[in-house]
Amino acid sequence: MVLGVGGGIAAYKVCELLRRLTESGHRVRVVPTASALRFVGEPTWAALSGQPVETGVWDQVHEVPHVRIGQSADLVVVAPATADLMAKAAAGIADDLLTNTLLTARCPVVFAPAMHTEMWEHPATQDNVATLRSRGAIVLDPAVGRLTGVDTGRGRLPEPAELFEAARLVLRRGATEPDLSGRRVVISAGGTREAIDPVRFIGNHSSGRQGYALARTAAARGADVTLVAANVSLPDPAGVRLVRVSSAVELAEAMETEREAADIVVMTSAVADFRPVTSAASKIKKSGAAPAPIELVENPDILAGLVTTREREGDDQTIVGFAAETDDVIANGRAKLARKGCDLLVVNQVGGGRAFGTEDNQATVLAADGAVVDIPTGPKEDLADRVWDLVVERLPERSS
Ligand code: CTP
């Protein structure tokens, strides 16, 4: 693996990424730019990687490093990817060891940009990102948060643990093309909460793990991912735009907004079917008498609503639902697929310790075109990748 380090302050976070990569058994060759070494010195990279560290093309020339390092890599990760470095990569400039390596590498390349918001949003940078993506590179959108100095905004390097996950998921796909590149994906995850009063709610056990696994795997396949998260307390996946909601009504509004630009919409969230008619303004107290009943009203069916909007707008979106069933899994699933009108319904059996909050999942995918696909028990990211395979098979041809 090659870890290219650009000249940004976030280089210090990349030491942690390097540590995680080497500890999980990867042989990592660090190739910093000259400016990266102004932030973190050569001895740090050499000690953490256990490999020699060079920046220019004039060291160890007899080994032809400017060609060999790229040729022999299984994965190149560039973090932080500065605006300057991505501009050079997009233009094919090769003026140091890292930019030479980028031209010779034939393996997957992941860029993790980090810079000030203005630099990220500049049309020059956005054009370079689009160019790199169109050539098959995975460019992770930077995270939102504290930047250098007093600024906050989009431009932060994602957390090292999440960069490690992104690298791992790209690597495990091997040399395959990122088949969701250029596709905009919106995924809902987690479980809604319907307020009874300021401290109590009606909720469910959904952890959001399956939705987050779908978001991470989609990003690793090159998609532009928006994750609408309802009450999820998992780390923010690298390269994914997060929208946070709480109630079903908020989720419905967010999904109707986000669906507009989406090629694929996936509803993994557990939506409360009912909400209290009113939410008390202050905490409900015991009065000594029998408690007042909580009157409920039905929530909108968000998935069915998204299908209706698609038909009305004449879009060719692919829409995927998830169904949790405790019994008569397939029969209930078929009826639900017909009722909701989505393209795929991923049906899993819940209860008895299955699905909620666990690392593993199993499912049967029912397709509107009649296909039935069993996905055996395995990690949620394996299930996610199988779902993406089924989605990719059904995507309409690109117009361009
Ligand atoms: N869903 C939704 N809006 C709702 C309820 C569910 O969008 N108000 C979505 C879920 O996100 C999921 C799919 O519909 O993708 C199936 O959810 P599930 O809870 O299994 O189905 P329900 O419609 O609630 O049906 P039932 O309660 O009869 O099982």
What is the reported pLDDT for 396?
86
The reply to whether ligand 1 has any atom less than 6 angstroms from the CB of 299 is: yes
Ligand 1 nearest atom to the CA of residue 302, by list position = 7
| Residues comprising the chain, all counted | 400
- Answer whether 267 contacts ligand 1 (Cβ < 6 A): yes
279 CA to centre of ligand 1 in angstroms: 23
Ligand 1 atom with minimal separation from the 339 CA: 23
Q: Which of 100, 204, 231, 348 is catalytic?
A: 204
CA 301 to centroid of ligand 1, rounded, Å: 7
The pLDDT of residue 149? 82
Residues 109 and 93: their CA atoms lie apart, in Å, by: 16
Is 302 a pocket residue for ligand 1 (Cβ < 6 Å)?
yes
pLDDT tens for residues 332-374? 999 999 999 999 999 988 776 555 667 788 999 999 999 999 9
From 45-49, 90-94, 238-242, 290-294, the region with the lowest mean pLDDT: 290-294
The matching CATH number, chosen from 3.40.50.10300, 3.40.630.10, 3.40.50.12780, 3.40.50.720, for 184-275+296-394 is 3.40.50.10300
Cis status of the peptide bond prior to 80, with omega within 30 of 0: yes
Q: Is 184-275+296-394 in the same CATH topology as 2-173? A: yes
pLDDT at 99: 97
Q: What confidence tens digit (pLDDT) does each residue in 268-294 have? A: 999 999 999 999 999 999 888 888 899
Q: What is the 3-state secondary structure of 283-319?
A: CCCCCCCCCCCCCEEECCCHHHHHHHHHHHHCCCCEE
For residue 273, how far is its CA from the centre of ligand 1 (angstroms)?
7
Q: Is the CB of 256 under 6 A from ligand 1?
A: no
CA-proximal residue: ligand 1, atom 16 (nearest): 323
CATH code for residues 2-173: 3.40.50.1950
315 lines ligand 1 (CB under 6 A): no
> Could you state, in order of their start, the residue ranges of all structural domains in the chain?
2-173, 184-275+296-394
Report pLDDT digits (tens) over 23-73: 999 999 999 999 999 999 999 999 999 999 999 988 888 888 788 899 999
Mutate which of 271, 298, 326 to test ligand 1's pocket (most atoms within 8 Å of Cβ)?
Answer: 271
Q: Quick check: 21 and 167 in contact, CB under 8 A?
A: yes
Residue 22 pLDDT greater than 70, yes or no: yes
Estimate to the nearest angstrom the gap between the alpha carbon of 195 and the chain centroid. 29
Q: How far is the CA of 365 from the centre of ligand 1 (A)?
A: 15
Q: Assess contact for 349 and 381: CB atoms under 8 A.
A: no
Nearest CA to ligand 1 atom 28: 336
Question: Ligand 1 atom 20: the closest Cα is on which residue?
Answer: 323
Angle, vertex CA 61, rays to CA 84 and CA 87, nearest 5: 10
User: What is the model's pLDDT at position 151?
Assistant: 85
Q: Whose CA is nearest to atom 24 of ligand 1?
A: 273
The reported pLDDT for the residue numbered 353 is: 56
Least confident range from 55-64, 110-119, 189-198, 259-268: namely 55-64
Gap from CA of 190 to ligand 1 centroid (Å): 13
Q: Where are the beta strands (DSSP E) in 161-211?
A: 184-190, 194-197, 200-202
**Does residue 400 have a pLDDT over 90?**
no
* Secondary element (H or E) of residue 39: helix 36-39
Mutation pick for ligand 1 pocket among 204, 214, 232, 273 (CB with most ligand atoms within 8 Å): 273
**Ligand 1 and 324: CB distance under 6 A:** yes
The single-letter code of the amino acid at 98 is L
Nearest CA to ligand 1 atom 25: 336
Q: Active-site residue 100, yes or no?
A: no
Angle at 45 between CA 39 and CA 48, to 5 degrees: 135
> Is the predicted pLDDT of residue 6 greater than 70, yes or no?
yes
Probe target for ligand 1 pocket from 267, 330, 342, 356, with the most ligand atoms within 8 Å of CB: 267
Q: Is the pLDDT confidence value at 87 over 90?
A: yes
